[in-house]
Chain A
Amino acid sequence: MTSKTDSNPIPAPVSPLRRVLPPVIAAALVVALGFGLFRSSNGQVGGPLVGKPAPAFTLQTLNGGTLSLASLKGRPVVLNFWASWCVPCRDEAPVLRDLSEKQAANGLAVVGVVFSDKNIKAVNAFVQEYALAYPSLLDPKLNTSIAYGVSGVPETFFIDKAGIVRGYDQGGLTRERLTAGLSKIGVVY
């Protein structure tokens, strides 16, 4: 009470590191989460299969024939997983139809695979509505979809002439995204 009565005690000096560290950690966490959240917002992401050989498949076409990936070897392939109940698939269908019509002469193969859609009537109606001339394959057991790691539609794989997956897109192709994917398999569009 005598010598201790100091109305303005001098606070102990806080080291600059202790002052700066908490906000730096918080900022780093926010940046990390933000980066993880927005890095794939344009749909062009590196899927696990990119750089690996495309899984082989032999599936039935809508008109009763069969088509295998092996039969397309030597040609660049755009493999599109779609369903009649999928709204973004409807948006990208005209883009893929245009691609198949314009690039068929250059050897590009566009192939559709119907994903988790048991309504064959609706699938056929979809093909007719968008006048899809390229083959659409049925994958009733989802074997091929699982082999490609498809969890939702649309998803598109760009496979080069050597049968290696070079590009991947999810969430509906636009012309720009299609062009970007095609450039990875050496197709100018």
Chain B
Amino acid sequence: MGAAYGLWLMACRHGLSSSVFSGLLGLFHRPRATSRTLLVALLLLSPASLAQTLSQPSPNPSGGISAGGAPVQALSPAQEARAQAIGRTIRCPVCQGLPITESPTDLSQSMLRELREQVGAGQDADQITTYFAARYGDTVLLDPPRRGANLLLWLGPLAAALLGGGWLLSSVRSRGKLAPAQLIENQADELDDVPDEYLAQVKAEVKDSERSRASLPTQPQPAHGRTP
């Protein structure tokens, strides 16, 4: 159970949340065009909705160049590492579950440049993620904040595991409470489900074979030793 929950959290962190659960989160947040597309594709409920998806720019295959060709602000190695770490938690709004650090689109590169500028200006991770979430909604965060309706996402599996585990435990315990004799009786009950006609046939054959064995004349036992 623990391992499964760990996998769930990993999936949440790596973008599954923005696809599978955006429908649920859509109840509480403004669904972005991309997340709606992913949800539609996943559920295959309404292919027509795909037509309403916004037009989006194609990825820039060259990548790594900030939009407008502007020079990227120089950061210290520690600041750069921090910018990359924060960037890994921001979803590229026009991609499917990719962080902006891994997306070559102009928009992601511009967002990363904006993020680096904010890191350079001394903003902390909370301030930066709040900045992007205020503009793109919480669906832009690959690490959904543990508050409000998102708690359902984080605590739902845990609650399900606890409830399921509790049910399993109680059913195992109730079986364990049965006395051994009662268990044997229960098994005998199961044997009773065997159709009677077969059992009767077996019994009849056993009886016949016993009767025929009893009716056979007793043969004189040969004497040991050599015959004269």
Q: Which of A116, A141, A153 has a CB less than 8 Å from the CB of B70?
A: A141
Chain B: residues with Cβ within 8 Å of the partner, total of: 47
For residue B224, CB closer than 8 A to chain A, the reply is no
A143 to B134 alpha-carbon distance, docked (Å) = 15
Is there an interface contact between B55 and A85, defined as CB atoms closer than 8 Å? yes
The A interface, classified by DSSP as helix, strand, loop or mixed, is loop
* Candidate in B27, B43, B106 with the most chain A CB atoms within 10 angstroms: B106
Assuming A48-B136, A116-B107, A145-B107, is B33 touching A170 (CB within 8 A)? yes
Question: Does the CB pair A141–B135 fall under 8 Å?
Answer: no
Question: Is A5 touching B54 in the complex (CB atoms < 8 A)?
Answer: no
Q: Which of B32, B45, B67, B136 contacts A141 (CB 8 A)?
A: B67
In whole Å, how far is B49's beta carbon from the nearest beta carbon of chain A? Answer: 7
Closest partner residue, chain A, to B133 (CB atom): A48
Question: Cβ of A147 and Cβ of B135 under 8 Å apart?
Answer: yes
Within the complex, the shortest CB–CB distance from B170 to chain A, in Å, comes to 14
Distance in Å: Cβ of A44 to nearest Cβ of chain B: 11
- Considering the complex, which residues of chain B in the window 62-80 have a beta carbon less than 8 Å from any beta carbon of chain A? 66-68, 70
Q: Given the complex, which residues of A lie within 8 Å of B33, measured CB to CB?
A: 151-152, 170-171
B110 at the interface (CB under 8 A from A): yes
Q: Contacts A48-B137, A146-B111, A151-B136: A116 and B57 contacting too (C-beta < 8 A)?
A: yes
Inter-chain contact A43/B57, CB cutoff 8 Å: no
Given A5-B196, A41-B52, A116-B67, answer yes or no on A143-B32 (Cβ-Cβ < 8 Å).
Answer: no
Q: Closest approach, in angstroms, between the C-beta of B26 and any C-beta of chain A?
A: 3
Q: Contacts A145-B107, A151-B34, A152-B33 given; indicate if A37 touches B45 (C-beta within 8 A).
A: yes
CB distance from B142 to the nearest CB of A (A): 15
Known: A140-B67, A153-B55. A47 touches B189 (CB 8 A): no
Candidates B23, B40, B114, B189; contact of A146 at CB < 8 Å: B114
Q: How far is the CA of A135 from the CA of B22 in the complex (A)?
A: 36
Residues of chain B within 8 A (CB-CB) of A170 are: 33, 54
The answer to whether A141 and B43 have CB atoms under 8 Å apart is no
Chain A residues near B26 (CB-CB < 8 A): 35-37, 39-40
Give every chain A residue within 8 A of B39 (Cβ-Cβ): 33, 36-37
Shortest 6 CB-CB distances between A and B: which pairs? A36-B26, A152-B54, A149-B135, A151-B93, A140-B68, A142-B110
